[in-house]
């Protein structure tokens, strides 16, 4: 079996940018783009968004799936080979490394991990339906918050962490008012974020609905409200809103690498500061799988570029042409 120079796992902005750079460097990358059976989604999280307004170079906006198709076409044009499959096992204990999917086993000198992260959802039927149809339910305020359907409306954000407050405060730029639904009456968010919340609450732009959870999402074509349950009293009530944003954390797709690569306490891959090197020589990580802070398409693309350059330099240092 021929040994690949670079295998890229994942085909979101990080994976595809790594493909473009590796392909242009004549490394003939092989990309496992995922099949969406084991959590790896071809195209990544942008496949679930509608209009992307903050990816540079698109003054008239671009649809998430369209942007990903363009990146994939660009990667393919320079010679990236794609396998439409989830990776089910990796053996990084010896070089060359082995990467397996249900139908393929490949050996490779380097691996770029760009498996991303997935937003946590409540997994309510109506939540999923309206999120997929663009009906006013989203897990990314920065991606979707500025869309016209949310302007001057009452919006609900679920969560009590930094993301919930940050995304909620971002939404106050557009919304009539943002309601933070939290299952406790104490924010997990940092002191600075808590201060931000209480300042906005004082200004009447945000309000906390404490001890509440969302048990259903209301609306047919578009959201009209949420059903709240007070966890202290058990009482339920319908709360009208025109947008629902989940901010209850993300889960990095790192199950394949548990016990093999160093991770932080939230299971994100650790990379060496200023680069994309993981704890194993020849293995690089890019995008959300190693980033719980920025989580933007453009930052993922940036680190995908870095990973390809790091892999190229690592191969050259090993004398692998
Ligand atoms: P997080 O800190 O894990 O907070 C998740 C929040 O969602 C918690 O308040 C949690 O409630 C709530 N939650 C979780 N599951 C829930 C469920 N099923 N139903 C209802 N509520 C649920 O996640 P995060 O806010 O995304 O932050 C992740 C990391 O990124 C943190 O380290 C954070 O500091 C960092 N971050 C930093 C910034 C910044 O500094 N600018 C911005 C964003 C994120 P409980 O509190 O009751 O557990």
The span from the CA of 119 to the CA of 131, in Å, is 12
- Whole-number Å distance, alpha carbon 92 to ligand 1 midpoint, is 32
Instruction: State the pLDDT at residue 239.
Output: 98
On average, the pLDDT of the chain sits at: 94
Instruction: State the pLDDT at residue 309.
Output: 98
Instruction: State the pLDDT at residue 41.
Output: 73
For 104, 112, 198, 292, the CA distances from 269, given in Å and listed in that order, are: 25, 12, 34, 10
pLDDT at residue 42 tops 80? yes
- Please, what are the domains in the chain? 3-118+250-317 (3.50.50.60), 121-246 (3.50.50.60)
Q: Is the CB of 160 under 6 A from ligand 1?
A: yes
Q: What is the mean pLDDT of residues 182-189?
A: 96
pLDDT at residue 37 tops 70? no
Supply the DSSP string of 178-201, one letter for each residue: EEEE-SSSS--S-HHHHHHHHHHH
Instruction: State the pLDDT at residue 142.
Output: 81
- Higher-confidence residue of 119 and 122: namely 122
Query: Which one is catalytic: 143, 162, 291, 305?
Result: 143
Nearest to 314 by CA among 137, 95, 117, 118: 95
CB 32 within 8 A of CB 7: yes
- Whole-number Å distance, alpha carbon 15 to ligand 1 midpoint, is 26
The span from the CA of 35 to the CA of 83, in Å, is 9
For 22, 70, 132, 145, the CA distances from 315, given in Å and listed in that order, are: 11, 28, 41, 42
Instruction: State the pLDDT at residue 40.
Output: 63
Q: What is the mean pLDDT of residues 190-208?
A: 97
Query: Which one is catalytic: 85, 86, 144, 310?
Result: 144
pLDDT tens digits, one per residue of 6-24: 999 999 999 999 999 999 9
- Higher-confidence residue of 54 and 247: namely 247
pLDDT tens digits, one per residue of 84-115: 999 999 999 999 999 999 999 999 999 999 99
For 137, 200, 266, the CA distances from 204, given in Å and listed in that order, are: 23, 6, 34
Instruction: State the pLDDT at residue 39.
Output: 56
Supply the DSSP string of 206-220, one letter for each residue: EEEETTEEEEEEE-S
The span from the CA of 14 to the CA of 303, in Å, is 6
- CA angle, 182 then 190 then 165, to 5°: 45
Backbone phi, then psi, for 51, in 5-degree steps?
Answer: -80, 130
Q: Which two tokens stand for residue 110?
A: 């380097």
pLDDT at residue 48 tops 70? no
Minimum CA distance residue for ligand 1 atom 2:
161
pLDDT at residue 155 tops 70? yes
- 3-state SS, residue 82: strand
Q: What is the mean pLDDT of residues 236-263?
A: 96
């Amino acid at each position: 079996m021929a040994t690949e120079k670079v295998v890229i796992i994942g085909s979101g902005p990080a994976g595809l940018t790594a493909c473009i750079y590796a392909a242009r460097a004549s490394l003939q990358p092989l990309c496992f783009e995922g099949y969406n059976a084991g959590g790896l989604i071809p195209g990544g999280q942008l496949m679930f968004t509608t209009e992307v307004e903050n990816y540079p170079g698109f003054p008239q906006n671009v649809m998430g799936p369209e942007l990903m198709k363009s990146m994939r076409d660009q990667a393919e044009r320079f010679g990236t080979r794609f396998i439409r499959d989830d990776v089910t096992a990796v053996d990084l204990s010896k070089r060359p490394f082995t990467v397996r999917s249900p139908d393929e086993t490949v050996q490779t000198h380097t691996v770029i991990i760009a498996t991303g992260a997935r937003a946590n959802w409540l997994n309510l039927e109506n939540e999923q339906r309206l999120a997929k149809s663009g009906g006013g339910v989203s897990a990314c305020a920065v991606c979707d918050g500025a869309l016209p359907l949310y302007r001057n409306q009452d919006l609900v954000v679920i969560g009590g962490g930094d993301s919930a407050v940050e995304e909620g405060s971002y939404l106050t730029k557009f919304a009539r008012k943002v309601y933070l639904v939290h299952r406790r009456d104490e924010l997990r968010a940092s002191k600075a974020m808590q201060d931000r919340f209480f300042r906005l609450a004082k200004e009447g732009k945000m309000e906390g609905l404490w001890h509440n959870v969302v048990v259903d999402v209301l609306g047919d074509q578009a959201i009209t409200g949420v059903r709240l349950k007070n966890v202290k009293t058990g009482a339920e009530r319908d709360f009208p809103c025109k947008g629902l944003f989940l901010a209850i954390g993300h889960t990095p797709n790192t199950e394949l690498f548990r016990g093999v690569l160093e991770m932080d306490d939230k299971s994100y891959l650790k990379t060496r500061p200023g680069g994309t090197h993981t704890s194993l020589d020849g293995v690089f990580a890019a995008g959300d799988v190693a980033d719980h802070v920025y989580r933007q398409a453009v930052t993922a693309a940036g680190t995908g570029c870095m990973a390809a350059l790091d892999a190229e330099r690592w191969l050259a240092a090993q004398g692998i042409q």
